[in-house]
Amino acid sequence: DTEVTQTPKHLVMGMTNKKSLKCEQHMGHRAMYWYKQKAKKPPELMFVYSYEKLSINESVPSRFSPECPNSSLLNLHLHALQPEDSALYLCASSQDYPGRPLYEQYFGPGTRLTVT
């Protein structure tokens, strides 16, 4: 099974709201990723977790807060977003571990976020 699941599929939130995106995989992968994708653009990396520790933060604004509660789950907490944060948010996972970045990344279906 090479499935990464994401919830919700769609989310509409106001600029003062707090919401969370969730991602889950049961492939035993120890690397998990958050990407942001705007229309007609490639995905942009936001965060990487390796063995439940944040290993990469691509200078993402603090209104995005990632969390990795365990090896199967990845959350992205959203607070005080701007309309320009509207995008498709993609989660991915892989078997990569430090020193062995040789594996496929598997992506979830994404959460379509609209900030009003």
Partner 1 sequence: KQEVTQIPAALSVPEGENLVLNCSFTDSAIYNLQWFRQDPGKGLTSLLLIQSSQREQTSGRLNASLDKSSGRSTLYIAASQPGDSATYLCAVKGRTQGGSEKLVFGKGTKLTVNP
Q: Which amino acid is at 73?
A: L
- Nearest-approach distance from CB 80 to partner 1, in angstroms: 26
* CA–CA distance, 56 with 58 (Å, rounded to integer): 6
- Nearest-approach distance from CB 102 to partner 1, in angstroms: 6
Burial-class residue 75 by CB neighbours within 10 Å (0-12, 13-18, 19+): middle
- Nearest-approach distance from CB 74 to partner 1, in angstroms: 14
* CA–CA distance, 82 with 12 (Å, rounded to integer): 12
Q: List contacts with partner 1 (CB under 8 A).
A: 2, 4, 6, 41-43, 45, 48, 55-56, 88, 90, 92, 96, 101-110, 112
Residue number with CB closer to partner 1 (18 or 103): 103
